[in-house]
Amino acid sequence: MLKRKCRVWWPAHLSAAIQPQSSAFLFGWFLSSSDSVPIEIIVAFSIDEAAYSSIGSDLQGILQKVNKKMPACLQNRSGLSMLGYCAADSTSNGELHLHTEAAEQSISKDRSGSWTCGCHKVDGLVEQLRRCTESNPVQLVYGSYICSSSKLGWIPKLHHMHWDGQVVSHLDRHIVIYGTPRFGRHHFSLGSQHITEQPKAFSRKPKWVEGLVQKKSILDLDAVILAINCASAATSFFEEQVLPDRPALWFHNVCMFITLIWQLLAVCVASLSTFIYIILQLLHFFLSYGSESCIYAKLETLFIHTWRNIHVRCCQILYWPIFLHNNDSRSKSCVEYAEKASLCKHSMWLSIIIDVLLGNLLGLALLIHADSACLWISAITSDITNNWWLISCARLMGNPAGFKLNTELAGLLGTLSLNAIQIWSTLWGSVHILFILFIKGLAISGVLFGLTTPAALIIDVITISTTHISTLHWSISLLYSRQIQATTALWRLFRGQKWNPLRQRLDSYDYTVEQHVVGSLLFTPLLLLLPTTSAFYMSFTIMNMTIGFICMLIEVAISVIHATPYTKIFIWLLRPSRFPCGIWFEIFPIQSHAKEVVQEKIDLGESQSDVLVSSLHSYSYSIGELVRPHFRYLRSAVSRSSITSSVYGVFSGSLASPLYNLPFAPGAGLPPKMPWMSIPFKDYWILCHDAVFACNPLSHTH
């Protein structure tokens, strides 16, 4: 006869709580799909005889109420049921007997008053047990406790079980000790949901690969891990039905006082948030009223980064009560769901707080040292203009790096560049008196909206203040690209080829003598003037890309501030076990006296049964693995193809834009856009109040 595999998942607190002389009823789940898959018996909690006697005939209704609160995927696999009865037998050297009942099984008491396994007796207790477990074809019948080590305590040992009306005594038993997952401490996860990068799909797969994909895994632990994560919630739901809390008078008064304080806090936060909400709605109304004007469109184009960040921050401020208010009922039934809901609930408002704190540090520092910052920035801009841009243009008019350039063309391009830079510097110098106001506005925006808003404003101001550089770069790149295209076309003329734009290829073409003569007259001056144009083009390209690189660094910093998971980092520093990424089993050796008990023959069968005792543990993410998925936008924003196209555009002169031209997608790390919220003020106040009050740790007791 083949051995039946059975795996018992046993809570660690039961091994320490249940003593050899104690007795209790066990509750949990049975999971089994076929003969090849081991029977999974997940023990969730236990109750003593006094609590069980107080339940009476309401056990079935209580279990149905508890099962309705469990996740749907667990309900489809199995429901919470009574697994058996544990009783310590003083005549069996400290063994603990484990019983349960199916349709044809029974549990009864002998004359001494102890529980025994009588499969032919039925009494009132057995009738209740039968109604609660008749849907489970697999039931435990008899077992005992063996003491494997002082670390594990008392471990259950199964002797036989009933399977479809038959007694199965040939068992390969695997006892797995697990710590009951609890919110804020730890939970278990197989880690498959964290794998986002799937292997590349090939066009044709071998048949044996498709067979492996279609074959069901023997070790299917998804439902088991889900049941283990729901053990704590099932215990709480069951205790709410069976053992209602009756706190002492002083504890009740303390809870009422804390609730009152939390109520006042909710009123204050809701009132402040509603006041900010009214201001934002008024600003949005005035901006919407003037959005059709040409001035509004120009300002939105010039301050595109600032506008985008302000919109994101305003929507975050409007939506924080919705994210903070937890309406997910699944989070109450599973620790894993509760952890995910908590991270989603607290991530946005914590990101806002961190950003606003950093913005207040920058804003207060700028307000205190506004004059010094204004003088320092003016000195830097003057030094860059006089010692870099003007000197670079003057050097290009001579012999830069020993290269002989065309004097007339270099003088023309250099004079135009110097005049443009000098005129623009004079214009900015005339509005220098307004620069102190800009510094103070930058500080105020940081105090109100956080660090990302003044950082985005700095990008827009840098872009506007360097318009003359980007315009000169665009003009010279236009001249350079046309000269490159003309030189290339004339070179193909001498080779007897012509570019076919429809087929995107070079075709042979017979040119006339006149065309060759005109081409020779044009090719010679274009080729000789190309070094002069290239020198000016490369110089302004370096200037423009330096400005773009500075703006890109600031935008990357903005994206990092928005994308950093502050909640996960803080929780990981306090308790890394709340971020599991896999499980592992620690095998424990059984002591010699326990081995003798395990290896003795069972009365119901002639063959021996094997036993394995292990403890369930979980791997945890490192800080790098936890944070890395949130910064994948950097890899997607700066791709190899974008770098290649940028390099080609720089050398061909086709990448000519007034803005900075670097392979980085603007706004790649910003949160997704949310529609503008517009609800009555009273409803928004109620929403904020309920969101804050829902965070009361004692709210579930009322």
Query: What letter does residue 501 receive in the DSSP assignment?
Result: T
How buried is residue 211: exposed, middle or buried, by Cβ count under 10 Å (0-12/13-18/19+)?
Answer: exposed
- Residue 483 burial (CB count, 10 A): 18
pLDDT at residue 603, as a whole number: 39
Residue 92 to residue 84: CA distance in whole angstroms: 19
How buried is residue 255: exposed, middle or buried, by Cβ count under 10 Å (0-12/13-18/19+)?
Answer: middle
- Residue 465 burial (CB count, 10 A): 13
Can you say whether the dihedral through the CA atoms of 641, 643, 645, 648 is positive or negative?
Answer: negative
Nearest Cα to Cα of residue 231 among 191, 194, 190, 188 = 188
Q: Which two tokens stand for residue 343?
A: 């991270």
Question: What does DSSP say about strands 580-587 and 81-89: parallel, antiparallel, or unpaired?
Answer: unpaired
What are the DSSP calls for 469-492, one per residue?
HHHHHHHHHHHHHHHHHHHHHHHH
Can you say whether the dihedral through the CA atoms of 8, 10, 14, 19 is positive or negative?
Answer: positive
Count of helices and strands (H, E) across the chain: 25, 15
H-helix segments, 608-673: 623-627, 632-637, 640-652
Nearest Cα to Cα of residue 187 among 325, 311, 338 = 338
Rg (CA), the chain: 38
H-helix segments, 204-291: 207-214, 222-229, 231-242, 249-289
Per-residue model confidence as pLDDT tens digits over 243-269: 655 555 666 677 788 888 888 988 999
Which helix (H) or strand (E) covers residue 25, if one does? strand 23-31
Residue 33 to residue 43: CA distance in whole angstroms: 18
What are the DSSP calls for 570-624, one per residue?
HHHHH-GGGSEEEEEEEE-PPPHHHHHHHHSPPTT-SS--EEEEEEEEEEE--HH
Below-50 pLDDT ranges, the chain: 1, 21, 90-144, 148, 193-203, 592-608, 657-660, 700-702
pLDDT at residue 570, as a whole number: 92
176 to each of 127, 179, 191, 385, 611, how far by Cα in Å? Answer: 31, 10, 19, 73, 11
Query: What letter does residue 186 receive in the DSSP assignment?
Result: B
AA letter at 419: N
**What are residue 644's phi and psi, to 5 degrees?**
-65, -45
3-class DSSP string for 321-341: HHHHCCCCHHHHCCHHHHHHH
Residue 552 to residue 544: CA distance in whole angstroms: 12
Location of structure tokens 């110098």: 429
Residue 243 to residue 52: CA distance in whole angstroms: 10
Task: Measure the CA angle with vertex 104, ends 98 and 109; round to 5°.
Answer: 45
pLDDT at residue 19, as a whole number: 57
Question: What does DSSP say about strands 23-31 and 497-500: parallel, antiparallel, or unpaired?
Answer: unpaired
Residue 74 to residue 334: CA distance in whole angstroms: 10
Q: Give the list of residues 6+ apart from residue 299 with CB closer than 8 angstroms, or none.
A: none
